[in-house]
Amino acid sequence: MNMFSENKNFWENAINSRRSVRSYKRMPVSPETMVKIKSFDSEIAIPFSHSVRIEYFKTREGKQLANHLKKPPEDAVAFITDTSNILNITAVGFVGELALLYAQGLGVSNCWFGHYILDEIEQIVPNIDILKQSNRPRVGYGKGNVNGIHAVCISPLGYFEPDGMRLLDRFASTVMSFKRKSLNELFTDNISETSLPDSLKFAFDMARKAPSAGNTQHWRFKVSTDFKTIDIVKIKGYTHFKWEHCDVDIGICAAHFWIGLSMQNINCELNQVLEDDSVTWRFKLL
Ligand SMILES: Cc1cc2nc3c(=O)[nH]c(=O)nc-3n(C[C@H](O)[C@H](O)[C@H](O)COP(=O)(O)O)c2cc1C
């Protein structure tokens, strides 16, 4: 047994109920809940070595955190790493999503933001490097391999405020939020959903529900003929005109798949394989 199989309903509900929330009440996360969220981060055994730092911080009232987050809640979290290495970038997705799903399960809404307001985040998040004047974007930490320790993404943490929803938020939450590709659209080879063992189908279903920037779902699933090796990869050559760090999303999807396996007590060896300039998340089922 593990923490996911012992609390299968908690994790399944967290995955099925999570939606990006961009409108919040201006109040803190309850102190007891915050203690739980922070201790989860220190207790969870991430199945690979990584150097992602999770930093919880307080926001400033009236200060915008992102284009679509004009009035942030009091609490937020940043996912920080050395951004010169693509393996760190994709690990941010995996580690961050576990933390955000746990918060979701405790009733704390959140939303990944890659395009946070850089000036504001650099002022309020401790122990990150300040980008040099010459390569400063307005939002996010920059394009490509940026040297230094930066927040790859942030997320607000708080309670939904329906009255604060603007037209765009309503559009995003009703049109983009719920739409996910079917499993059959996500396999790279001639695999169909019906040929899979139920246990794998379940884990893939958890994976396909992962969030991605702009809901692009640019992950694909490769399954070996004996169903023992599963690769989660970015579509070959994929880039997005707006979101520069689309390997984060692949890490998020891998986290959902790993939770799906763990909920069923399926053990695996998990490796990130660097091929050309792309990372494959390789699961070898044991
Ligand atoms: C890595 C990542 C970065 C994101 N960055 C932003 C962002 O900068 N601004 C924003 O409004 N939403 C952002 N989102 C939220 C996505 O738009 C959202 O997850 C997607 O539309 C699917 O909707 P859902 O999360 O409600 O299912 C981001 C999501 C991910 C996974």
* CA 169 to ligand 1 center in whole angstroms: 11
Q: pTM score, two decimals?
A: 0.96
> If pLDDT is split at 50, 70 and 90, which confidence band does 245 have?
very high
Tell me which residue has its CA closest to atom 16 in ligand 1: 213
Compute the CA torsion angle 250, 256, 262, 263 (nearest 10 deg): -170
The residue type found at 25 is K
Which candidate, 46, 129, 54, places its Cα nearest to that of 84?
A: 129
The torsion angles phi and psi of 113, rounded to 5 degrees, stand at: -130, 115
User: Quick one: fold of 3-164+177-285?
Assistant: NADH Oxidase (3.40.109)
* CA 111 to ligand 1 center in whole angstroms: 6
> If pLDDT is split at 50, 70 and 90, which confidence band does 216 have?
very high
> What is the rounded distance in angstroms from the CA atom of residue 94 to the CA atom of residue 47?
10
pLDDT value at residue 174: 61
Number of neighbouring beta carbons within 10 Å of residue 271: 12
Do 283 and 257 contact (CB within 8 A), yes or no? Answer: yes
Pocket of ligand 1 (CB under 6 A): 19-20, 22, 66, 68, 111-115, 153, 172, 176-177, 211-215, 248-249, 252
The proportion of the chain whose per-residue pLDDT surpasses 90, expressed as a percent, equals: 87
> If pLDDT is split at 50, 70 and 90, which confidence band does 163 have?
confident
Query: DSSP code of 33?
Result: H
Residues with Cβ < 8 Å from 137, sequence gap 6 or more?
A: 118, 143
What are the pLDDT digits (tens) for 108-161? 999 999 999 999 999 999 999 999 888 799 999 999 889 999 999 999 999 999
> If pLDDT is split at 50, 70 and 90, which confidence band does 58 have?
very high
Which candidate, 237, 177, 235, 227, places its Cα nearest to that of 204?
A: 227
What are the pLDDT digits (tens) for 178-210? 699 999 999 998 889 999 999 999 999 999 999
Query: DSSP code of 130?
Result: P
DSSP-assigned beta bridge partners for residue 150: 81
* CA 215 to ligand 1 center in whole angstroms: 7
Instruction: Using alpha carbons, list the distances in angstroms from residue 191 to 149, 194, 200, 234.
Output: 41, 8, 12, 18
Do 102 and 180 contact (CB within 8 A), yes or no? Answer: no
